[in-house]
Amino acid sequence: MKKPEDLIPHRAPFLFVDEIVLLEPGKKATARWHLKGDEWFFSGHFPGRPTLPGVLMCEAIAQTGALAIVSDERFAGKLPLFGGLDGARFRRQVVPGDVLEMTTDLVRLSGRAGKGNGIATVNGETACECELLFVVVD
């Protein structure tokens, strides 16, 4: 299976997908983010109680969706961008040592835009869920 950086342009420190678990081009992707604890955001969020910021969980879900989009030959070489984020809910804290597993299902996909539903879990427990709107640009 390909690496995330083979498909999407994100790079450290803003690549939040380490491993692709499942890839159904144009339909669905599942990926993992292994949080070691030395990531840049943990030192300030929060000192003494490091917690993954919720907005970064949403970004990780979006990057997972981007994998499903750009792996579809219709979108090879294009860039999916956030168009909106709806219904984000945070259900549990994510801390150093956790493995965040993100799944994004694309529920609508046209030549220029789409919609996806995403969920991020730790050990099967929901950490975050959201609905993504995106546009695809050259």
Residue 1 is predicted with a pLDDT of 80
Q: What is the arithmetic mean of pLDDT over 106-128?
A: 96
Q: Identify the active-site residue in 10, 27, 32, 45.
A: 45
Does this model's pTM top 0.95?
A: yes
10 an active-site residue? no
**DSSP assignment letter at 74:** G
52, containing H or E segment: none
Residue 43 is predicted with a pLDDT of 95
CB atoms within 10 A of CB 114: 22
Determine what percent of the chain is predicted with pLDDT higher than 90.
Answer: 96
∠ CA 52-131-89, rounded to 5°: 45
